[in-house]
Amino acid sequence: MAGFHIVVCGGMVPDPLQSLEPVVGPDGPALKNEAMLPMVLDPWAAHSLYEAAHLAAHAPGSKVWLVSLGPKARLQQLMMSIAQKVSFELVALDGAAGGFSDAYEIARALAEAIEGIPDLDRTRLLLFGGCASAARDAGVTMSMVAERLGLTEQFLGVDMLETDGDRLRIKERVEGGRYRISECDAPPAMLAWATGTLPIPPNNPQLGMQNMRSIMPALARAKSIPLGSGDVAFGAVERPVQRRETRVVKDMPPEDIAREIVAWMREG
């Protein structure tokens, strides 16, 4: 099996369970106290990174790059966690994180960064990323990156990839809770992943130390990416009205839980 050149696009988003409060700041919409929010690699993109590493480990000659856009200092901190998970080479872009940036501009920055990767063999390219983002859920960024790179084989909501090196067999989520299974000659191709099938890898500091040898220089090289909102004028940001009631129950039958949730929704 010939190796792949796998490029994973993955940004940072606030750690799950954080209380997010949109505000309109001097530079447009933002999250309140964004600088203090713990950040994680966007969960869908993280799954794609684990899938990429797994694929690379089983396809000799493969290599994985992670292209990540975010404030450089926050990226550095995030890398201390991610670098322990799997082996990759970082391509860092210094710019705003969050879900308020225009997807078109992000796609352009990512595509240009990928085009600038030395030694990247575009004929062996598998472009990976999340099918959506926890920050915005736009769901279009990966397709736009792929278009810019001239990748016409595109798969969305991917949960499984099998390959013998020359052909890809891909399982995508489609409407109705079903999977569509496709085959194509590839690479090159773009796969925007859903959750995949792999567990989160354990932390391995030794692997982290190996990764950091290339991550620190990559952070030092990080190109500054000015991101605006394009021609779109944001009027305001607001939160959906929500209610939160937490109760801990044990051994409650699912039917009873469902019944209670329905009653609760009707009340609202």
Positions in the binding site for another protein (CB under 8 A): 15-19, 33, 35-38, 73, 76-77, 80-81, 84, 199-206, 208-209, 212, 216, 244, 246-248, 250
8 A C-beta contact, residue 193 and residue 156: no
Please report how close the Cβ of residue 205 comes to another protein at its closest, in angstroms.
5
Q: Measured from the CB atom, is 39 or 107 closer to another protein? A: 39
Please report how close the Cβ of residue 207 comes to another protein at its closest, in angstroms.
10
**CA distances (Å), origin 120, targets 126, 159, 242:** 11, 25, 46
Please report how close the Cβ of residue 246 comes to another protein at its closest, in angstroms.
5
Q: Measured from the CB atom, is 174 or 257 closer to another protein? A: 257
Q: For 73, list phi and psi in degrees, rounded to 5.
A: -65, -35
Q: Measured from the CB atom, is 152 or 203 closer to another protein? A: 203
8 A C-beta contact, residue 192 and residue 213: no
Burial (CB < 10 A; 0-12, 13-18, 19+), residue 113, is: buried
Please report how close the Cβ of residue 53 comes to another protein at its closest, in angstroms.
14
Please report how close the Cβ of residue 200 comes to another protein at its closest, in angstroms.
7
- Cα gap 89→92, rounded to integer Å: 10
Closest Cα partner for 151 from 190, 186, 183? 190
Q: Measured from the CB atom, is 81 or 152 closer to another protein? A: 81
Q: Measured from the CB atom, is 21 or 183 closer to another protein? A: 21
Take residue 128 and report the two structure tokens written for it: 């990976």
